[in-house]
Structure 1
Amino acid sequence: DECLPENGQSLSAVCNDVLSYVLPYGRGSVHPRFWGWASGEGTLGGVLADMVSATMNMNACAYMNSAAFVERTVIEWMRQIFGFPKGTSGGLLV
């Protein structure tokens, strides 16, 4: 239930978010590098994201993991950007 951020976050704040909202919700999968077919980028933040994904062993098959919450948050942000009414849902990242 977060509002769309108006400003970016520092790398330190992102690290704190990872520690609070990502690491506690890891799940096993058949392959430790599965992350929804998303590849990283060549920045320090991208390296950190790849490191987290390589160590989390995330499985998107269970709802109660961080991937589902990220998708739900992004859908809410898109709803706000495009002015759709509250309660609008979708499968944007599926």
Structure 2
Amino acid sequence: MTEYWLISAPGDKTCQQTWETMNNLTSKQHSLSVNYKFHIPDLKVGTLDQLVGLSDDLGKLDGYVEQVTRKVATYLGEVLEDQRDKLHENLMANNSK
């Protein structure tokens, strides 16, 4: 059974230098492994910590928006108490509830 390892190597001056150093130490001289590059794109938001922070903020904002939407629906229901069919029409967004 073939075994694959995914490793992250600390960078030298360039990624190519890191790749060449790792290749020289593992595959060419010592026949320890056959190495392949696996490119991982940069995160658009910066660091992983920033991404986790944005995810937390999104959860908080989602709860807040849901509360506000429910309050608006309740207030609208009170204003249109005699016109329930109008309430349903006014709570539609892009033809969906």
Larger RCO (CA under 8 A, 6+ residues apart): 1
Give the structure with the higher percent helix. Answer: 2
Do they fold alike, i.e. is TM over 0.5? Answer: no
TM-score interval for Structure 1 and Structure 2 normalised by the shorter chain: under 0.3
What TM-score, normalized by structure 1, do the two folds share?
Answer: 0.26
Instruction: Give the TM-score taking structure 2 as reference length.
Output: 0.25
Structure 1 or 2, whichever has the larger Rg, is 2
